[in-house]
Structure 1
Amino acid sequence: MKIEGNAQKLLTVLPSEVQNGKDNIGEAKGFGDMLKDAVNSVNQRLINAEELSTQLALGEPVDIAKVMTEMSKADISFRLLLQVRNKALSAYEEIMRMQF
């Protein structure tokens, strides 16, 4: 097992600030910011898929495979966002039921 190879794979996933050795602890995004970014990303995917499907419905020259792919990506992204929301809500409810 190569440790160097696995570490290199890990570095491709990490943000560039961590790879460069910068200490951005004070600048780290919070959970709320990450959630907002995710919602905005999913919203943009849904808008793009809707625009492509509208173009297809109007008879404009659009590749039907691209339309279906974008619609599938938007659907999967939306479902994932819903599952994250459900898990976060479930965790919040569980914390609220705890007695101190």
Structure 2
Amino acid sequence: MVSPVNNQQSLLNIMAQMQQVAAGERVMPADNQIGLAADFKQVVRAVNTEQNIAADLMAAVDAGRSDDVVGAMVASQKADLSFSMLMQIRNKILSGIDDVMRMSL
């Protein structure tokens, strides 16, 4: 349970950070916050893992070590869908960056 004292202290910390931003000082992120680059790396690693699993399952079916053709195809489709989603997210981010770069000041 969150006590009012802890909640009030966290609000005061947030207000102090907002004051630093308003004053133009550099604010260091909290330990539990992750940047966009770290999030994107994590997603890329997850997609890579799915691609590797699908490749291993397909290789096992091709070599005759496994009879699970349906499981291999599902894993392959899942990996393909994850990769497509990653490319769409990348395209949206790059489009947003291009829009920001074209803004006039």
Change in CA separation of 1:61 and 1:32 when aligned onto 2, cut-off 3 Å:
same
Q: What percent of counterpart residues are identical?
A: 32
Which runs of 5 or more residues in structure 2 are unaligned?
1-6, 11-28
For residues 29-59 of structure 1, the C-alpha deviation after alignment (integer angstroms, 9 at most, x for no partner) is 1111110000000011001101110111111
Q: Distance in 2 between matches of 1:42 and 1:91?
A: 23
The runs of 4+ residues in structure 1 deviating greater than 6 Å are none
Q: Distance in 2 between matches of 1:56 and 1:71?
A: 12
CA contact (8 A) 1:52 1:62 kept: no
Aligned-residue Cα RMSD (Å) equals 1.6
The letter of the residue matching 1:79 is S
Structure of greater Rg = 2
Residue 49 (structure 1) aligns with = 54
Q: CA deviation at 1:99?
A: 1.2
TM-score by length of 2: 0.69
TM-score by length of 1: 0.73
Change in CA separation of 1:98 and 1:53 when aligned onto 2, cut-off 3 Å:
same
Residue 65 (structure 1) aligns with = 70
Residue 30 (structure 2) aligns with = 26
Residue 84 (structure 1) aligns with = 89
When the two structures are aligned, how many residues end up with a matched partner? 78
The letter of the residue matching 1:70 is A
Q: Distance in 2 between matches of 1:85 and 1:93?
A: 12
Higher-RCO chain (CA-CA 8 Å, sequence separation at least 6): 1
Q: Distance in 2 between matches of 1:39 and 1:69?
A: 20
